[in-house]
Chains A and B, each alone.
Chain A
Amino acid sequence: MLEVKDLHVTVEDKAILKGLNLTVQPGEVHAIMGPNGAGKSTLSAVIAGKDGYEVTQGSILFEGQDVLEMEIEERARAGLLLGFQYPIEIPGVKNIYLLKAALNAAREARGEGEIPAPEFMKLVREKSAEMQMDPSFLQRAVNEGFSGGEKKRNEILQMLVLQPKLAMLDEIDSGLDIDAMKVVAKGVNSLRSADRAILLVTHYQRLLNHIEPDRVHVLVDGRIVKSGDKSLALELEARGYDWVLEESVA
């Protein structure tokens, strides 16, 4: 589904990713872990198409399409969705309005018509209940005045409504207390399905107690230096990152 090959990325002439390889199949949950500054967030930002990242080498294919040739919105409509570490506030724009515009944009790209209003309302109510969000959140301006936990739940709500093929969640656990994390994890787990993949970018193992990954990758200094199953995450938790680094240098 997603194939990242020999990806080199620079930000303001500084090399961040230096030959990253990653393959994700439908149905899989991958966790990208690593120390601060290793390039974890860069990976998901580049896949989503954020400005300021220059790909100097390598390729990203999503279902056979060259992602780097696609506009930001085309990537999203194709089913590549990024959940933000720091969701953005948009004053005056209702949350529900953004959701509807995003959903209809994706439907239009698939050649479907706009979603009928009653169907949309039903869908959104159902999904917000799943995220334990009061319906009043839908009428508030996007992320404006939301607490950290509310913003993260809102990101997952968008995923539940938009049903991406590949959900990339950037540090979705940062700033969450344990209860909020459980709600977020429950939402993410409900996204799991045989035809959908999830890419979790996280610093801590904690999240992976709630969302069990199929594959864990350790990203250090712009490369994936070690991959394994969920037990790797536990090992990282116990021993830190230094040993992986030493092993990879050796």
Chain B
Amino acid sequence: MASEEMEQLVRREYKQGFVTDIESETVPPGLDESVIAFISQKKGEPEWMLEWRLEAYRQWLKMTPPSWAHLDYPPIDYQAISYFSAPKKPEDRPQSLDEVDPKLLETYEKLGIPLHERAALAGVAVDAVFDSVSVTTTFKEKLFEAGVIFCSISEAIRDYPELVRQYLGTVVPRSDNYFAALNSAVFTDGSFVYVPEGVTCPMELSTYFRINAANTGQFERTLIVCDNKAQVSYLEGCTAPQRDENQLHAAVVELVALEDAYIKYSTVQNWYPGDEEGKGGIYNFVTKRGDCRGDRSRISWTQVETGSAITWKYPSCMLRGKESIGEFYSVAVTNGRQQADTGTKMIHIGEGTRSTIVAKGIAAGRSDQSYRGLVKIGPRAKGARNYTQCDSLLIGDQCGAHTFPYQEIGNSSATVEHEATTSKIADDQLFYCRARGIDEEDAVSMIVNGFCKDVFQELPMEFAVEAEALLNVTLEGSVG
């Protein structure tokens, strides 16, 4: 382990990212209406947006943090958080990779991350990211030709106010939950995507491309709208461990699929999980929801969750349109002292709606994780079907896995299937592989990857390869 100082440096610097053109002013820690007005003004937002934020804030004040999750963490002091902070100047960042925690670099190496991206991820103040700028430019031209809008949410509020106003908060209402309300009041960053009618987005959209345009913020807000017969595949996150001085992350993601539209949303999340005692790790409280608003629309969530000290996340689908489809494919890996309470909600409202849930949980070290899933079939959802499969794999004997499946079936014509298994990574499987000459760590990663195969095959090809590598790095040293 490198010096703590260095590590802190890396963490402190990372958040600032590579954006150079935002205002360099900071508000002191704490939250009140004036802070929200400040944020709104800094972002150059119209009046309605400020009102929208303030209304969220007023509702948030009346709410209390959820306590039902199987998570254990000290209360968060919301007045100790700074809700708008200025970027660090380039000269305050590490000036080269030599100044970065070698352990972090080692991980990048193992993940096969290209050199220039390593510098960017570690927050080094170099112009190596220029490579991705040129990529971004070609990429933007292509999208523009197709009529796809892909920009930061702040730009969208300025440049496409009607679209934002029409959809923002319609999937995750401001008062939906404590963290969503907070996010609605103070979000500063995130993505906006609009795919017009009949258009299949010509490429996979990735926040990765956007890394220079807007850094992932503490309160990220993403809105993706697919018009009739439109399709998009969106990739969020990246496999490299991302560090951040902000411990609390409360993102909101809203997806809207109109008639015959298809949104595929893939996430690989690898926030800093904290040290061996779980100190300093990110708290990730995310509200992600997709609205299959149109008939025959389809929304598919695929996630690989390996990071964060605490994960609270339930990507869900509202299946309103007739014969609409919701899917949730998830791999959650916890090691060390990590805690994760994650799962999904499939709300069947329309006739003939279908949903599939495949959740794989892997717990190692002294970590603890829960799958929490709700399948709700409304009275009008005739012939609705759900298939749920959730499997847990335990590595070692100090970790825990729990399953909390909820079903509310309001319709006798519905078919709901649920399968669940919990297994310990079997000593006999390990012995079998080792007795073939395969060393223990390779054997574990082979068995774990096999366990996750159903989910990995849902990921876009490149992401799947990265996800496998990531899994191996995450579980390194978890046996023996």
Question: Which A positions have Cβ atoms within 8 angstroms of B?
Answer: 48-51, 71-73, 75-77, 81-82, 84, 87-93, 97-98, 101-102, 105-106, 109, 141, 158, 162
Contact = CB atoms under 8 A, between A and B. Distances in A.
B446 A76 contact: no
Contacts of A105: 436-439, 442
Contacts of A92: 449-454
A48 B434 CA distance: 10
A102 B436 CA distance: 6
Nearest to B442: A101
A73 B442 CA distance: 11
Interface in B386-442: 426-429, 431-440, 442
B447 interface: yes
A167 to B, nearest CB: 12
B428 A93 contact: no
Given A51-B431, A88-B429, A93 B436 contact: no
B435 A48 contact: yes
A90 B429 contact: yes
B435 A82 contact: yes
A42 B453 CA distance: 35
A109 B437 CA distance: 9
A53 to B, nearest CB: 11
Nearest to B439: A73
A87 B446 contact: no
Contact of A76 (B437, B450, B451): B437
A82 B451 CA distance: 25
Contacts of A87: 432
Contacts of B437: 73, 76-77, 102, 105-106, 109, 162
A98 B433 CA distance: 8
Given A92-B451, A101-B438, 7 more contacts: A49-B435, A50-B431, A72-B431, A88-B431, A90-B429, A101-B446, A106-B437
B426 A88 contact: yes
A231 B437 CA distance: 36
Given A90-B446, A91-B450, A84 B432 contact: yes
17 contacts: A72-B435, A73-B434, A73-B435, A75-B435, A77-B437, A87-B432, A88-B431, A89-B429, A92-B451, A92-B454, A93-B446, A93-B447, A93-B450, A102-B433, A102-B436, A105-B436, A105-B438
Contacts of A98: 433, 436, 438, 446
A102 B431 contact: no
Contacts, number: 79
The DSSP consensus for interface residues of chain B is helix
Contact of A90 (B432, B439, B440, B452): B432
The 6 A-B pairs with the shortest beta carbon distances in the complex, nearest first, are: A92-B450, A93-B450, A76-B437, A92-B453, A102-B436, A88-B432
The interface size bin for chain B is 20 to 34
Nearest to A94: B450
A67 to B, nearest CB: 13
A28 to B, nearest CB: 22
B390 to A, nearest CB: 15
Nearest to A76: B437
Nearest to A91: B450
A73 B440 contact: yes
A76 B432 contact: no
A76 B433 CA distance: 10
Nearest to A92: B450
A87 B436 CA distance: 12
Interface string B88-117: 000000000000000000000000000000
Interface in B319-337: none
Nearest to B427: A51
Contacts of A102: 433, 436-438
A73 B434 CA distance: 5
B475 to A, nearest CB: 15
A56 to B, nearest CB: 21
B450 A88 contact: no
Interface string B68-103: 000000000000000000000000000000000000
B161 to A, nearest CB: 48
A73 B438 contact: yes
Given A73-B440, A76-B437, A162-B437, A141 B450 contact: yes
A48 B431 CA distance: 9
A50 B435 CA distance: 8
A46 to B, nearest CB: 12
Nearest to A50: B431
A14 to B, nearest CB: 20
Q: Which of A72, A77, A98, A162 has the most CB atoms of chain B within a 10 A radius of its CB? A: A72
Interface string B281-303: 00000000000000000000000
A243 B119 CA distance: 77
Q: Which of B429, B431, B433, B436 has the most CB atoms of chain A within a 10 A radius of its CB? A: B436
B451 to A, nearest CB: 6
Contacts of B447: 90, 93
Nearest to B391: A91
A147 to B, nearest CB: 18
A54 to B, nearest CB: 16
B197 to A, nearest CB: 40
A141 B431 CA distance: 17
Q: Which of A84, A92, A106 has the most CB atoms of chain B within a 10 A radius of its CB? A: A92
B446 A97 contact: yes
Contacts of A88: 426, 428-429, 431-432
Nearest to A75: B435
Contacts of A84: 432, 435
B455 to A, nearest CB: 10
Nearest to B457: A92
B431 A76 contact: no
B434 A72 contact: yes
A73 B436 CA distance: 7
Contacts of B452: 92
Contacts of A51: 427, 431
A65 to B, nearest CB: 15
Given A92-B453, A93-B447, A101-B442, A76 B428 contact: no
Given A73-B440, A88-B426, A93 B449 contact: yes
